[in-house]
Amino acid sequence: MNRSKAIILLGAILLITGCTDFFMICSLNPFYLDKDITLAPDMEGRWQAHEVLGKSGKKDHEVWNQMDTTAVWKIERHIAKETTKTAKGKDSVTYRVMNDYRVRMVNEKPDSAVYLFKMVIFKINAKLYADFMPVENSGLEKSRFAHESYFKVHTLARINLQDGKLHFSWLGAESMKEMIEKKRVRVSYRWVSEAGRLLLTGSSEELTGMIERYAGEPRFIDWDNQPAMLMLNHIN
């Protein structure tokens, strides 16, 4: 499928990926480069999420669904399993520890949904960020059509880990839209009319350059006042 057709389809696929509301900006490409990837062992474990309100302290919109704050967030280092054939034709299994994490949202009730995300942590200008991409969920597995048409878009969050609490603040679509309209940022994007929102289509190099130049300046991106923010408390 060529890129133009893919973007046309994306208007419908955004309904599946969770980018239907104007809360988080979504990108077709990762927000990081391999050279900036880092690890954060303190983030591994089980967490309970709580919604964080912006500076006004008021909830203007319903951002999070019930699963986001009632599920247990399980964060662990990704271990890849590889199966190869030996010279005698037998299966040989090896495991590799990868430089990314798996975030599993589990509602610990029988037959409940499970959502799995790939999380890559990276550091730019001494600040930590996370790139989230959906890997699978139980709903998609039940439909071949949905699974084959599934676009794995990326979202960007600023991370603050302190005193056993993990704070995620996702870059809002409205903040991104404002920067583009005021020509503060030069990054490729498309307007997806079917979803009524922006989709970033720029390369990871473009996106990294944007973060380097603007993400550390509150006058451009106020990470304490984004619409989608969560505080995770560590569960023993």
What is the tens place of the pLDDT at every residue in 84-135? 777 777 888 888 999 999 998 887 665 455 778 999 999 999 999 999 998 8
* pLDDT-above-70 percentage for the chain: 77
pLDDT of residue 9: 42
187-212 in b/e form (b: 16+ CB < 10 A) is bebbebeebebbbbbbbbebbbbbbe
Tokens of 220: 């451009």
Give me the pLDDT at residue 6, please. Answer: 45
pLDDT in the model for residue 150: 55
Helix (H) or strand (E) run with residue 16 in it? helix 3-17
Model confidence band, residue 53 (pLDDT cutoffs 50, 70, 90): confident
User: CB of 192 within 8 A of CB of 199?
Assistant: yes
Q: Is the pTM of this model over 0.85?
A: no
